[in-house]
Amino acid sequence: MPTIRPATLEDSVPIAQIYNWYIENSVITFEEAAVSAGDMAQRIAVTDASRPWFVLEPDDSDGLLGYAYAMRWKERSAYRFSREVSIYLRQDVHGAGLGRQLYEHLIAALRETEVHTLIAGITLPNDASVALHEKLGFKRVGVFEEVGRKFDNYLNVGYWQLLI
């Protein structure tokens, strides 16, 4: 049974490896240049109760299966109770229910804080991500058309929201 635990700075290498696959091979993230382990460590370093990072470890200690985190939605003070959430799984473990397990853990942790709203941005189309978010209670609240450009294509981003 995989284990979920808080991410540490030592996880920055496998987290960067998982994320860089998406940067190089998909439009799921709009980053276009690979992220170093040092850059990822800086992102993880801001962890606190309302901005947690969690990792999913397999039983056999064969790297990480995935990670999920929450970050501030926007910097202005009035947004302080809102968080943008994201989840990334290693490419070879999709469809096994691990994403749901990891995301449920993140949401439960955020329910223990003063956070009120979770926001997820999803590059469209992405039926699997939409289905996961909607199974967890997120509601579609809007779509920005052609807001990003990657691999020579303009891309739409939908936003889903969960009030906790």
The pLDDT tens digits for 62-112 are 789 999 999 999 999 999 999 999 999 999 988 889 999 999 999 999 999
Structure tokens at 18: 């998982």
CATH number of 3-115: 3.40.630.30
Q: Is the pTM of this model over 0.85?
A: yes
Q: Taking all residues of the chain, what is their mean pLDDT, rounded to a whole number?
A: 96
Q: Is the pLDDT of residue 61 over 80?
A: no
The single-letter code of the amino acid at 73 is W
Residue 59 pLDDT grade (very low, low, confident, very high; cuts 50, 70, 90): confident
Q: 160 and 122 in contact (C-beta within 8 Å)?
A: yes
Instruction: Sketch the domain layout of the chain as residue ranges.
Output: 3-115
Q: Is it true that the peptide bond before 125 is cis, omega within 30 degrees of 0?
A: yes
Q: 101 and 136 in contact (C-beta within 8 Å)?
A: no
Interatomic CA distance for residues 37 and 64, integer angstroms: 14
Give the pLDDT of residue 62: 73
Phi-psi region of 103 (alpha: psi -120 to 50; beta: other; left: phi over 0): alpha
Give the pLDDT of residue 60: 78
Give the pLDDT of residue 1: 81
How much of the chain exceeds pLDDT 70, in percent? 99
Strand order of the β-sheet with 82-89 is 3-6, 53-57, 66-72, 82-89, 117-124, 153-163, 139-150
Give the pLDDT of residue 68: 98
- Which residues pair with residue 55 across a beta bridge? 5, 67
Give the pLDDT of residue 89: 97
The pLDDT tens digits for 7-19 are 999 999 999 999 9
The pLDDT tens digits for 99-128 are 999 999 999 999 999 999 999 999 999 999
